[in-house]
Amino acid sequence: MVRSPVHIAALIAASLACSAHADELVPYTIVGDSIPQSLTGAPGDAARGRALVLARTTTCILCHSGPFPETRFQGDLAPDLTGAGNRWSASQLRLRLVDASRFNAETIMPSYYRNDGLVRVGRNFAGKPILSAAEIEDIVAFLATLRD
C-alpha cells in the first residue's frame, strides 16, 4: 500500500490529465497515523473548509460542535472541534477524515474518502466518496487553523 511519493504524484498528474472517472479515488500513502501528502497535490482553502464544516450536507456539524458562534444547532455526538489544530497535524487530520475507522473500527465517524466495502449505498451515492479530495483538503486546511 505504501507507494513512493513520486509514483503518487505521477498518478495524480495522470488523473488530472485524462480527467479520470469521477468514482475513482486519488491514491494516497499512509505514513504512521497520517497522510502527509495533500490528496490534490495542493493546499486546501481554509475559508471554503469552514463553510463545508458548517454545511449540514457534509454532515460534520450534525455530530460535532466547534467555535462557530453563528451556527445554532451543533451536534454533541463527537468531540468539539475547538483546538483540533493543536491536537493534530494537517497530515493526521487528513487520515482522520479519509478513514477514521482505521483508528477505531467501532467509530461512528464515517470514512469520508472511501467508496468500497459499504452496504446498500443509496443509488445516488454508490461508488462515490462522501467528500471529494478537494473538499477533504479544504476541511483539513480549516481544521488545522483551529488553535486554542
Residues 98-117 that bind other proteins (CB under 8 A): 101, 108, 110-111
Residue number, 21 or 120, with CB nearest to other proteins: 120
Of 90, 81, 83, 5, which Cα lies nearest the Cα of 43?
90
Tell me: does residue 132 bind other proteins (CB under 8 A): no
Give the one residue of 62, 67, 86, 103 binding other proteins; rule: CB under 8 A: 62
Main-chain phi, psi angles of 104, to 5 degrees: -155, 110
Tell me: does residue 81 bind other proteins (CB under 8 A): no
Residue number, 10 or 55, with CB nearest to other proteins: 55
How far apart CA 126 and CA 92 sit, in angstroms, is: 27
Tell me: does residue 42 bind other proteins (CB under 8 A): no
77: left (phi over 0), alpha (psi -120 to 50) or beta: alpha
Tell me: does residue 47 bind other proteins (CB under 8 A): no
Please state, in angstroms and as integers, the Cα–Cα distance from residue 147 to each residue in 2, 32, 62, 83, following that order: 31, 23, 21, 4
Which grid cell sits at 37? 501528502
Binding part of the chain for other proteins, among 5-13, 19-27, 68-76, 133-141 by CB under 8 A, reads: 68-76
How far apart CA 61 and CA 55 sit, in angstroms, is: 7
Give the one residue of 80, 118, 145, 147 binding other proteins; rule: CB under 8 A: 118
Q: Which residues bind other proteins (CB under 8 A)?
A: 51, 54-57, 59, 61-63, 71-77, 101, 108, 110-111, 118-125, 128, 130
